[in-house]
Structure formats: C-alpha cells, structure tokens
C-alpha cells in the first residue's frame, strides 16, 4: 500500500469516527493534521494525545483520551499495514 492510499484510508477512518456526531460535516482540517502526525508517531498513547489536542483546538470541546487512543490504534494499524510492519 502506498503512502497516498494509507492517508486516504486514515482520513476515511477519521471521518467515520465523527467524535461529535455532526451530520453532513467533514473534519477535513483535523483529519489532515492527524494524518500528518501519524507519519511520525508509532505510539498509540502519543497519537491519542495529539488527536485529542487537534480536535479540542478546533472545536473547544474535550474528547476523552480513551476514545482518542482507540482511534489511534485503528490509524496505526492502517499505517503498519501500509508499511508491511504487521
């Protein structure tokens, strides 16, 4: 899997996550920030904190760290699959 395909899958995963349950809304800016961070982070806790910070900064709403870590595991699985690290 190429990096572009990995990024698309990661963005789709974040859009499906929809942490604030907004109808007909995309988290394009936030997804781009998270995918950029995903390139350099392999630790789910660290990535979870980044996700929490990105969404909190944009929406001024707090997401429990457990939810952010859960999505970070999904994103890292996509990354590791793309890099053949599994």
Residue 26's pLDDT band, with cuts at 50, 70 and 90, is confident
CB atoms within 10 A of CB 68: 24
Q: Is the dihedral of CA 23, 44, 78, 36 positive or negative?
A: positive
Better-scored residue on pLDDT, 1 or 83: 83
Mean pLDDT value across residues 34-41: 96
Q: Which fold would CATH assign to domain 3-18+29-82? A: Endonuclease III; domain 1 (1.10.340)
Mean pLDDT value across residues 54-79: 96
Extents of the domains making up the chain: 3-18+29-82
User: What is the overall mean pLDDT for the chain?
Assistant: 92
Record the pTM: 0.90
What 3-state class would DSSP assign to 86? coil
Mean pLDDT value across residues 12-16: 93
């Amino acid at each position: 899997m190429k990096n572009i395909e990995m990024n698309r899958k990661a963005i789709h995963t974040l859009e499906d996550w929809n942490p604030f349950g907004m109808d007909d809304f995309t988290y394009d800016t936030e997804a781009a920030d998270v995918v950029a961070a995903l390139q350099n982070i392999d630790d789910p806790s660290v990535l979870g904190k980044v996700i929490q910070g990105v969404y909190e900064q944009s929406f001024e709403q707090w997401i429990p760290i457990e939810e952010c870590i859960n999505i970070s595991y999904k994103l890292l699985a996509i990354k590791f699959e793309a890099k053949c690290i599994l």
